[in-house]
């Protein structure tokens, strides 16, 4: 009976999605093998061998999710969310690693980054709540609980501290609320304070934003009291931005200023961005050849096995390979969105949108960081970057995506 169920599941599997994931992992292993050429030999020492070993349990997790009954993902999503909260708190009771509490030591040769798993469980819990309360989404009060569900683990992760992962944990909220039917005006109100603070440092930008904000409020036609509160509240918040800037430490201010002008500190904060751009630019169209990257093998390029692995690909295999990687991951994300459209139940559709957003956030932040479009933030590239916890959760999400996408292929 079990064999027949497994055989049926495999027949319904969207294999093109799985092939793209496996091919991306293969490219990652090729690059990590090049990076590992000058590492001391050891089973758990080189990035290549670490990734290869972790890949096997990651694939096992994917296969296990595929044979699970579909209803169990929805049924146990709240329990998994509670487990996610517990596991992101546990590292605080252990010893810090590099002055952070991101990794949980369970007696293995490597630590587990629990926030990666919490990210998946939070998305599932959010999908269940929104799917169970679809008819209430037109009310403003209905978006408060989804915000709390997302914000609670995010604040814990932010205090580890891990700003990059906490940002990614928040990103599925708006797309999933929109997908569930929340009014666009409510979603606009959630993002308005951010734009008010960002534009406050430039008079023209702040004036344009104030006009756009006022226009949006007029078109939405809320009550007079609420309109006045929303408009002047955001204006007041924007005026407080210079005071918020002064509360940042000198180091944090320098990170932002150097992002805007990397040449300001080429050997300090801007070093990573400059070396990354140099590596990508020197690779040209077809690269210098596998294992021939000077920025990579002379160790000019920092964190090359995870955060800046795209720079290594650009240097050694060229822009063409980088384009292939981006097209593959783009196809993977677009297929997830397509399955969300085809889905026959709200929970599956919302979960698929949430996971697509997580993958897209990782791709955008990692790629933009690599070419200096945004400040450096330690987020790996899906399926390619070295990182045991992220690789396992990427395959965990892929397994859930494949399971929820079955029967929706056409």
Mean pLDDT of 182-189: 82
Q: What is the dihedral of CA 291, 293, 294, 297, to 10 degrees?
A: -50
- The span from the CA of 383 to the CA of 393, in Å, is 10
pLDDT-based confidence at 409, cuts 50/70/90? very low
100 strand-pairing partners? 97
Which of these, 397, 341, 407, 348, lies nearest to 12 by C-alpha position?
A: 407
The three state secondary structure string of 143-201 is HHHHHHHHHHHHHHHHCCCCHHHHHHHHCCHHHHHHHHCCCHHHHHHHHHHHHHHHHCC
- The span from the CA of 288 to the CA of 279, in Å, is 10
pLDDT at 301: 80
Mean pLDDT of 144-166: 87
pLDDT at 244: 73
3-state DSSP call for residue 280?
A: helix
pLDDT at 3: 44
Which of these, 146, 148, 137, lies nearest to 185 by C-alpha position?
A: 137
pLDDT at 304: 80
Interval 359-391: pLDDT, tens: 999 999 999 888 887 777 778 999 999 888 899
Q: Give me the chain's average pLDDT, please.
A: 84
| Higher pLDDT among residues 198 and 326, named by residue | 326
- The span from the CA of 268 to the CA of 250, in Å, is 14
Which of these, 322, 318, 276, 281, lies nearest to 301 by C-alpha position?
A: 276
Interval 125-139: pLDDT, tens: 999 999 888 766 667
The burial of 287, by beta-carbon neighbours within 10 Å (0-12 exposed, 13-18 middle, 19 or more buried), is given as: buried
CA 30 to chain centre: 23
pLDDT at residue 42 greater than cutoff 80: no
Residue holding tokens 């990103």? 171
Highest mean pLDDT among 42-46, 60-64, 89-93, 202-206: 60-64
How many C-beta neighbours within 10 Å does residue 399 have? Answer: 23
CA 219 to chain centre: 33
């Amino acid at each position: 009976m079990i064999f027949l169920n497994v055989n049926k599941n495999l027949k319904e599997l969207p294999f093109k999605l799985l092939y793209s994931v496996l091919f991306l992992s293969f490219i990652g292993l090729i690059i990590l093998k090049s990076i590992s050429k000058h590492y001391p030999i050891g089973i758990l020492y080189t990035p290549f061998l670490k990734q290869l070993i972790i890949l096997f349990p990651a694939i096992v997790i994917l296969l296990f999710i595929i044979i699970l009954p579909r209803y169990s993902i929805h049924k146990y999503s709240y329990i998994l969310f509670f487990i996610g909260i517990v596991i992101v708190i546990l590292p605080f009771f252990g010893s810090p690693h590099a002055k952070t509490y991101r990794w949980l030591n369970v007696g293995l040769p490597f630590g587990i980054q629990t926030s990666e798993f919490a990210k998946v469980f939070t998305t599932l819990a959010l999908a269940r709540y929104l799917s169970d309360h679809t008819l209430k989404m037109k009310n403003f009060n209905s978006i408060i609980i989804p915000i709390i569900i997302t914000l609670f683990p995010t604040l814990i992760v932010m205090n580890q501290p891990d700003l990059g992962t906490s940002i990614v944990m928040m990103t599925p909220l708006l797309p999933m609320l929109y997908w569930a039917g929340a009014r666009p005006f409510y979603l606009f109100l959630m993002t308005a304070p951010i734009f008010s603070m960002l534009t406050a440092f430039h008079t023209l930008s702040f004036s344009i934003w104030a006009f756009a904000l006022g226009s949006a409020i007029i078109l939405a036609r809320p009550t007079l009291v609420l309109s006045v509160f929303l408009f002047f509240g955001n204006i007041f918040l924007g005026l407080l931005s210079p005071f918020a800037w002064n509360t940042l430490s000198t180091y944090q201010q320098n990170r932002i200023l150097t992002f805007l002008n990397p040449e300001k500190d080429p050997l300090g904060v801007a070093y990573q961005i400059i070396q990354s751009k140099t590596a990508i630019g020197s690779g040209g169209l077809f690269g210098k050849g596998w294992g021939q990257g000077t920025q990579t093998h002379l160790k000019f390029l920092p964190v090359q096995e995870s955060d800046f692995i795209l720079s290594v690909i650009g240097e050694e295999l060229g822009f063409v390979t980088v384009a292939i990687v981006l097209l593959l991951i783009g196809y993977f994300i677009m297929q997830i969105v397509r399955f969300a459209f085809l889905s026959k139940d709200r929970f599956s559709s919302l979960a698929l949108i949430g996971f697509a957003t997580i993958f897209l956030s990782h791709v955008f932040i990692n790629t933009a960081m690599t070419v200096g479009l945004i400040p450096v933030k330690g987020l790996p590239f899906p399926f390619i970057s070295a990182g045991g916890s992220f690789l396992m959760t990427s395959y965990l999400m892929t397994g859930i995506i494949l399971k929820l996408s079955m029967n929706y292929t056409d």
